Amino acid sequence: MTRRLVSVSNRVSIPRKQAAPGGLAVGVLAAMKARGGLWFGWSGELTDEGEPGMEVVRRHGASFAVTDFPRELFERYYYGFSNGMLWPLFHYFVETFHYDEPSWDAYLEANRFYADRLTRVLEADDLVWVHDYHLIPLARLLRERGARQPIGFFLHIPFPHHEVLRCLPVHEQLLADLCAFDVVGFQTDNDLRCFRDAVARLCGEACLAGPDELRVDGRIVRTGVYPIGVDVDAIVGESDRSSQGEMVRRMVASLTDRKLVLGVDRLDYSKGLVERFNAFDRFLQDHPERRGRVSLMQVAPLSRADMRAYSAIREQLEQLSGRINGRHAEADWVPIRYLNRNFAHESLMGFMRVADVGLVTPVRDGMNLVAKEFIASQDPADPGVLVLSRLAGAACELGEAVLVNPYDTHGMAEAIEQAIAMPVQERRRRHEGLLDVLRRNDIHAWHGKFVATLESVASPE
C-alpha cells in the first residue's frame, strides 16, 4: 500500500493562476501532483484575536490543509528569527545577523503551534516531509506529541560552515533538532559536508556511521544530496507559447534588434543585484561599441518588503539603475530596464526564451531554479547563454554555463561580453550538455529520490 505523503512548509501555495512561485512551492506542488497526499502550512492569513481558522481544500488530486496564524507571533517568528537571523547567517551575511532571545522563543512557539495543528490531521502510516529553515524543530515537537511516522527534512537554502553557524548562540539546539529527523537532505555536496562536520563537532567523530548516515542518541539519521530541478517539458511548452504572445512580442519589438541580457530574481540581498548592476555598468564602460546595442532587463518582484534590509536594497537598486541610465542612456535607448513587479510564470519563460544572455549571479544561493528555467526555456537551434555565479548551488551541476564570481566586477563584465559574442555552434554545444543535466536531475527525480529514501526508513519504535 502506498503511504500518504504529507508535505509541511511555512507557506502553502494552493494551485491557481498567479505570479511565478518560488523554488520550494514548485517542488512541493510537483510532488503533490505526482503522488497526491496532503500539504500543510500557513494560509497567508493573520489573525489578531480568537482561535486561528484552519481548513482543508482539494485541488488536482491533492489536499491542502491551511491554517491562519496569530499576527503578533508570526511577525516575531518569521521576520525575527527565521528571516532576520537564520536567513542571513545561512547565506553568510554575518554582518546583518543579530540574535535576540525573544525572537528565538517566538520561533519555538511558532513551531509548537504548527506541531499542534499538524498532529490533528496526521494518520498513522503517513510519510512526513518537512521543508526549510522555518521548521527545524518540528520533528522533535511532533515526537513529543506522539508522532511515530518517518519524518524527513529538506533544506532549500545553503547550510553554512561550522565557523559561521556557531555565531548563533542556539546552534547546538538547532543541530540536535535536525538530528531528530529520519532523513535530512541538502542541495549540494558542500551543504552536506558542512552539516556532517557540524554534527561531528557537537557529538564527536563516532557519530559519522557511514557516508550517508549519522548515529545520534542511538538513532540512525540518513543524510543525502537531492538537488532540486525543474519540469523541463512543462517549461519548454510555456516558453514556446509565451514567446508567441502579445507581451513578449511587444517587448521584443521595443528592443529594435538589440541584444537582451535578462535577470529574474526576487528582490533579495542574496541575489547579487547591486553587484550585477555594477558589472553591467563596467561592461558598458569597457566595451563602448556595445552601447546602444545591448539592454539589461532586470525583473525583481518585492520580497519581504516589511523588513528594513529589503527596503534598503530596493532603494539602493533604484538609485543605482538611475545613475547608470543617466550615465549611458541615449535618446532611443536605456541600458537598464528595472521592473520591480510580478509577472506570470509563463510570461517569464517567454522573456527567457528570447533573451540572448541569462544573468544569474547570486552572492549565495541554495540552488537557484531561475538558472535551470533559463536553460529549459531556450530554443535549441539558437540558444541564449547562461552566465552563472559559482556561489549558487546550481553551479555544481551546470558546468557548461559561463561561471563567474559575483564579487568580481571586471570578470562579470567580461563574462557578459563572452556570452554576447559566443558563436552559435558553441552556444548549441553548451546548451545540449546543460539540458542533458536538467533532464537527469529534473523535479520528478528530486521528489522521487527523497520520498524513496523516506519510505525506506522504518517507523521509530
Other C-beta atoms lying within 10 Å of the C-beta of residue 382: 11
CB-based contacts of 52-56 (< 8 A; 24+ apart in sequence): 54/117, 54/120, 56/121
Q: How far apart are CA 228 and CA 450, in angstroms?
A: 10
Q: List the strands of the sheet with 402-404, edge to edge.
A: 336-339, 294-299, 259-264, 357-360, 385-389, 402-404
DSSP 170-215: THHHHHHHHTTSSEEEESSHHHHHHHHHHHHHHH-GGG--BTTEEE
| Whole-Å CA distances, 358 to 31, 81, 371, 398 | 28, 33, 8, 13
Q: Which residues contact 372 (CB under 8 A, 6 or more apart)?
A: 229, 230, 394, 398, 438
| Inter-residue contact 278 to 320 (CB < 8 Å) | yes
C-alpha cell recorded at residue 195: 552539516
Q: How far apart are CA 201 and CA 195, in angstroms?
A: 10
Q: How far apart are CA 208 and CA 213, in angstroms?
A: 7
Q: Supply the residues annotated as catalytic.
A: 156, 365
